[in-house]
Amino acid sequence: MCRSSRQLTLVSRGFDVLKAGQNCHSAKFQNVKAVVHEAAGVLGINTSNTATPQANFSTISCCTVDALREGVMKSDPIRVRREASHYILDYLYNNPNAGDTFEGIMEWWLLTQSIKFEMQTVSEAVAGLVAEGLIVEQKGRDSRSIYSIKQTEENRQKISTRLMEIRSSLHD
Amino acid sequence: MHTGTVLLLQFEAGGQLGSSLRQILESCPDPEFTVAYYTCQSIDVVDNELSKLIVSTKPLLILLVLPRGHLRSLDTLFRTLEPAAARIVLVVEPDQDNLIELVKPNIDDFIIAPLRDSEVLLRVRRLLNQSCHEQNMRDSLKEKLGLQQLIGHNPLFISEISKIPLVAKSDAAVMISGETGTGKEMVARAIHYLSPRAGKPFIPINCGAIPVELIENELFGHDRGAFTGAAVARDGLIHEAEEGTLFLDEVNCTPLSAQVKLLRFLQSKEYRRLGSTKSLNGDVRIIAASNANLEAELAAGTLRRDLYYRLNVVPLVLPPLRARGNDVILLARHFLAQYAVKLNRPAVDFSPEAERKLLLYGWPGNVRELEHVIERVLILCTEKIIREHHIVLSSETSSTPLSFQEAKANVISQFETTYIQSLLTVYKGNITQAAQAAQKERRTFWELVRKHNIDVQKFKTANVGE
């Protein structure tokens, strides 16, 4: 999966995170914000006034993320090329002695990079959900974390409301 | 047990906090990690030396000893640290201006002075474990998704593919044999990228495509003045593949003089450039491949037996597509989806008749031929269902002459199949007796039987029936 799809995934959940953390100025939050805005920019959505990002979310939620992704791929080949360049350069930055033919880049470099970025994205998504209080993190004895939801009626209601919000905006 | 590198990063040489931390890490009685140290000149400037250190040591954990009043100026530094994908622990004095700022998503943990040995080591170990777990997850995902690129469910194919992760972990030479278009280079590349050499070069070279007189020069390079026109010294592919993998396709096409040098390199890891008296060392893994019958090449003396044995430490035999049954349809659907997107075609599937046609064809060009057939179908067909008449196979078109290699491989393959079958008929499916009659080792004979997908049981059963 290329970085554009990562950005689009972030768009769908990113506005929620933005909404939850409007007053947060941490580096990672700012990073998420920047990526979401960048992706929204690709989609032609004005996010310059994000005081109420949820309002803007409905603008892009009229189609599925896949459709948006396809739209981006078709509408902005330059951006897609730039993203591929980013993957390749990042790979070479981390493996300065690497070298291979085009097939190798297609089959293995991009795969390695997409795993790296996907893991990063999921990790950010989980961190965002924990920060919002929608899921809880429990440290296990082996230092690994277990993620789950709080089994309270209030929390279930909160998640249900949020899911409804997202679903309805996706079908608007 | 060594689990990774911890990078201790400080901003003032000889700072008290940095020194204490260093002492604690060095005092660890049974260190499961190695420690690298670095003192940055400035917190605001991207430091190239630091970037290089991170790339070379690939730390799993970075301990960031932060001077007073700099909590807010970490962004530039984080951009430098980002590619490391390491966990970051902030180590600070207790009187930092705003401790709430420690709760940054980039920071995985923080330690406030005074430092206690047990606390520091406990946290370091815990975070190293987490990092290792993530690394393992990345590796297993890479293995799983990487091998999924080698499409097929046929047991013969799977049995060979499943050897790749194991072979990748060792540094042994590998010999991949299989007809043209069976995916030998893909397999070689998978071995490289799942091996510890993954971040280093993978250099593929088709020995059959290089003029015989140039191959030594290509492989080993030359010194200045080695021959007329050698105005400057030039490195060979062995040098270019340093610490990585050199894939020698059609290794049987290498001239005998180069084979001797290659053998020497495989044995001693030493080689000489053309025209040089100085031996050079090379750390390169060799993976060789051939679509020819290497036994015949050995018998004819065109391939040195000692080189063959040296290369054939781990043999992988890729079955031809015609022996892979339903994999033909699996691969055809894969290419159909791929080219439908690429060519913006609506095609969604094959009709049952089209599938039958694909299954009955012999696929002398194997997967490569199948891919080209599907591409051609999608260029010419605009319907959603691909029907029998849309598929035009080589046998139906005006016969394109085969290349010398392909024609030779076909004849040899036919000869081997007929010869083995005749021996198995005579010896009623007894492999040992058939191998003895052929004056071949039982293992080699068995490999030939597998290569041509000959059902030995059939010969035994025929005997019982009589």
In this prediction the ipTM stands at 0.72
Pairing assessment for the beta strands B385-386 and B234-235 based on DSSP bridges: unpaired
Cβ within 8 Å, pair A119-B74 = no
pLDDT beyond 70 at A74: no
Structure tokens at A142: 């082996």
- CATH number for the domain spanning B461: value is 1.10.10
Q: Is residue B141 part of a domain?
A: no
Q: Which domain holds residue B206?
A: 149-317
Residues 89-128, chain A, touching B (beta carbon < 8 A): 90, 93-101, 103-104, 107-108, 111-112, 115-116, 119-120, 124, 127
pLDDT recorded at residue B98? 63
How close A161 gets to chain B, by Cα (Å)? Answer: 26
CA nearest neighbour of A101 among B255, B249, B336: B249
Share of chain B above pLDDT 90, in %: 38
Q: Is A47 left (phi over 0), alpha (psi -120 to 50) or beta?
A: alpha
pLDDT band per the 50, 70, 90 thresholds, residue B230: confident
Q: What is the mean pLDDT of residues B283-308?
A: 90
Are B340 and B347 contacting, i.e. CB atoms less than 8 angstroms apart?
yes
How close B48 gets to chain A, by Cα (Å)? Answer: 12
The span from the first CA to the last CA of chain A, in angstroms, equals 27
On average, the pLDDT of chain B sits at: 85
pLDDT recorded at residue B96? 56
**Statement to judge: residues B334 and B304 lie in one domain:** no
Q: Is residue B238 part of a domain?
A: yes
pLDDT beyond 80 at A29: no
- According to DSSP, the residues that pair with B314 across neighbouring strands are B174
Whole-model pTM: value is 0.70
Q: Which residues of chain B are within 8 Å of residue A90 when distances are taken between CB atoms?
A: 83
Last residue of a domain, one of B335, B364, B396: B396
Q: What is the mean pLDDT of residues A59-80?
A: 49
Query: What does DSSP assign to residue B297?
Result: H
Q: What is the mean pLDDT of residues B345-352?
A: 84
**Statement to judge: residues B19 and B60 lie in one domain:** yes
Q: Is residue B142 part of a domain?
A: no
Cβ within 8 Å, pair A104-B202 = yes
Q: What is the rounded CA–CA span in Å between residue B98 and residue A131?
A: 20
Question: What is the per-residue pLDDT across A100-148, written as a single tens digit (0 to 9) for each?
Answer: 999 999 999 999 998 888 888 888 888 888 888 888 888 776 667 889 9
pLDDT beyond 90 at B185: yes
CA atoms within 13 A on the CB side of B149: 23
| Helices and strands (H, E) in chain B, number of each type | 19, 16
Residue found under tokens 């057939």: B373
Q: What is the rounded CA–CA span in Å between residue B150 and residue B164?
A: 11
pLDDT beyond 90 at B78: no
Q: What is the rounded CA–CA span in Å between residue B6 and residue B4?
A: 7
pLDDT recorded at residue A142? 64
pLDDT recorded at residue A15? 39
Backbone angles phi, psi at B37, to 5 degrees: -120, 145
DSSP string, A123-171: HHHHHHHHHHTSSEEEE-TTS-EEEE---SHHHHHHHHHHHHHHHHHHH
User: Which chain B residues have any C-beta within 8 angstroms of a chain A C-beta?
Assistant: 55, 74-75, 78, 83, 85, 103-106, 126-127, 129-130, 133-134, 137-138, 141-142, 145-146, 149, 185-186, 189, 193, 198-204, 240, 242-244
Q: Between these two residues, A102 and B14, which has the higher pLDDT value?
A: A102
Nearest to B146 among A93, A111, A142 (CB): A111
**Statement to judge: residues B156 and B294 lie in one domain:** yes
- CATH number for the domain spanning B8: value is 3.40.50.2300
Structure tokens at B463: 């005997």
Which stretch of DSSP H or E encloses residue B315?
Answer: strand B314-317
Pairing assessment for the beta strands A136-139 and A145-148 based on DSSP bridges: antiparallel
Q: What is the rounded CA–CA span in Å between residue B339 and residue B357?
A: 20
User: Hey, of A87, A93, A112, A113, which one would you mutate to test binding to chain B, going by the most B CBs within 10 A of its CB?
Assistant: A112
- CATH number for the domain spanning B228: value is 3.40.50.300
pLDDT beyond 90 at A56: no
Q: Domain tally for chain B?
A: 4
How close A16 gets to chain B, by Cα (Å)? Answer: 17
pLDDT beyond 90 at B151: yes
